[in-house]
Amino acid sequence: MIKGIKGVKDILPEDTPRWRFIEETARRWADRYGFTEIRIPIFEVTALFARSIGATTDIVEKEMYTFPDRDGTSLTLRPEGTAGTVRAFVEHNRAAHPLPQKYFYIGPMFRHERPQAGRLRQFHQFGVEYFGTQDARADVDVMALLWRFLSDLALPDLTLEINSLGSSGDRAAYLPVLVSFLKGRQEKLCDNCRRRIETNPLRVLDCKVPTCRAATDDAPQLTAYLSPDAKGHFDQVLSGLAALGIPSQLNPRLVRGLDYYCLTAFEITSSHLGAQNAVGAGGRYDGLVELLGGPPTPAVGFAAGLERIAMMLPEQSLPASTPSVYVASFGSEGGPAGVQLLDALRRAGVSAQSDYRANTLKAHLRQADRAHCRFAVFLGDDEVRSGSTVVRNMDTKAQETVSLPDLPRYFLTVIQGS
């Protein structure tokens, strides 16, 4: 037997209603904030991700699915959606169109991580990217969209953590101070962090190893090195969130695992998720469009992990499924009439089904129950001849006689009213 790949999951029919509901809710919220959908490719040239996410990040160093194309070009399955969206923005010269522009995407991403609950190798993101303004209200919009979307789904115990990574100039002033602090604590850091002092010192602040956390407890904080502009921006973001009643928590250790960020960085976590507790995350990336060959265009966005949302979604958040009708047909005339009735109901917009193997009333009713049909119609030779059928409400067991040609209209009315 050939099995699926570790960390790459099937989403089976019993789970897809949950997924569809999450995706539909995401689309609805994106629409309310004026984001329109972009569909970007699943794979791109490797250089796109290395350049935008950063050559020394975990994603690029260890987690990408990279393979040579037949002509030798190095290709990579997208580990996230920002790089591809920015590539498309630049390639199609979208900056020449009126700004701002707001895009969203939903789709699979690929990272070679150690699989565990909430961490997969193929996972799905709902992401938004807002191009063309550095106004702090855009940062607030993006965070509010994520917060309102997750709250609408009734996900429990959410916390919005926020930090400012300053401008590149602010970080240039801060990094030597951080590096010299870290060098003084080197022997207390894990191997990975010791290496990061040289390659990506900010990430040391984000290490989850308890000894590293303790050793960097009193590390100098980037927020103390913010320029007046960056500080002003951050203050506006914080007061903008407060004005909308969205609670946020300052987390000076929040540095994000992707290099393109500047100014605002944020994460929404939930204590219900265990070790992989980020439901969604994002921030501002004002330099990325230019880095990928476009005109200077500030931007801000987020991505949320749909597997983590699906794990946390309370059952009662799910809407009831649309009622379906079961056609129980028997006999030499009832059988063919049943097929015609199914066709008529479906064409009228009613979900209708039957089990062609069943030939007793009992077997039909068992199938109607299994398929969670709300109604069953009995259609034997007698009913075909008389032109009237019996409709059974599967919940209340109440029965009613309805004429055969009236059935599509009857069910449409009942279902629309339910």
**Residues of this chain that bind ligand HAM (CB under 6 A):** 80-82, 111, 113, 118-120, 123, 125, 127, 129, 257-258, 278-283, 285, 301-305, 307-308
Q: Which residue number, 257 or 380, has a Cβ lying nearer to ligand HAM?
A: 257
- Rounded to whole angstroms, the Cα distance separating 288 from 364 reads 60
How is residue 406 annotated by DSSP? Answer: G
Q: Which residue number, 123 or 378, has a Cβ lying nearer to ligand HAM?
A: 123
- Rounded to whole angstroms, the Cα distance separating 200 from 62 reads 14
Q: In what order do the strands lie in the sheet with 262-270?
A: 36-37, 101-110, 122-131, 299-305, 278-284, 262-270, 158-164, 248-250
- Rounded to whole angstroms, the Cα distance separating 338 from 330 reads 8
As measured in angstroms, the least distance from the Cβ of 46 to ligand HAM is 17
Q: Which residue number, 95 or 173, has a Cβ lying nearer to ligand HAM?
A: 95
Q: Which residue number, 109 or 376, has a Cβ lying nearer to ligand HAM?
A: 109
325 contacts: CB under 8 Å, gap ≥ 6: 345, 350, 351, 352, 353, 373, 374, 375, 376, 377, 411
As measured in angstroms, the least distance from the Cβ of 11 to ligand HAM is 13
Q: Which residue number, 303 or 407, has a Cβ lying nearer to ligand HAM?
A: 303
Quick one: which of 54, 56, 116, 117 has its CA closest to 80? 54
As measured in angstroms, the least distance from the Cβ of 207 to ligand HAM is 16
As measured in angstroms, the least distance from the Cβ of 226 to ligand HAM is 20
What is the full DSSP assignment across 28-59? HHHHHTT-EE----SEEEHHHHHHHH-TTSHI
Q: Which residue number, 285 or 375, has a Cβ lying nearer to ligand HAM?
A: 285
What is the full DSSP assignment across 87-149? HHHHHTTGGGSPSPEEEEEEEEEE-----BTTB-SEEEEEEEEEES---HHHHHHHHHHHHHH
Report the residue count for the chain: 418
Contact in structure between 154 and 314 (CB atoms under 8 Å): yes
Q: Which residues pair with 250 in a beta bridge?
A: 162
Cα–Cα distances in angstroms (integers) from residue 240 to residues 66, 157, 282, in the given order? 41, 22, 17
As measured in angstroms, the least distance from the Cβ of 227 to ligand HAM is 22
Q: Which residue number, 7 or 220, has a Cβ lying nearer to ligand HAM?
A: 7
As measured in angstroms, the least distance from the Cβ of 123 to ligand HAM is 3
Q: Which residue number, 111 or 374, has a Cβ lying nearer to ligand HAM?
A: 111
Residue whose Cβ sits closest to ligand HAM? 305
As measured in angstroms, the least distance from the Cβ of 118 to ligand HAM is 6
As measured in angstroms, the least distance from the Cβ of 279 to ligand HAM is 5
As measured in angstroms, the least distance from the Cβ of 281 to ligand HAM is 4
At 103, the amino acid letter reads Y
Q: Which residue number, 309 or 377, has a Cβ lying nearer to ligand HAM?
A: 309
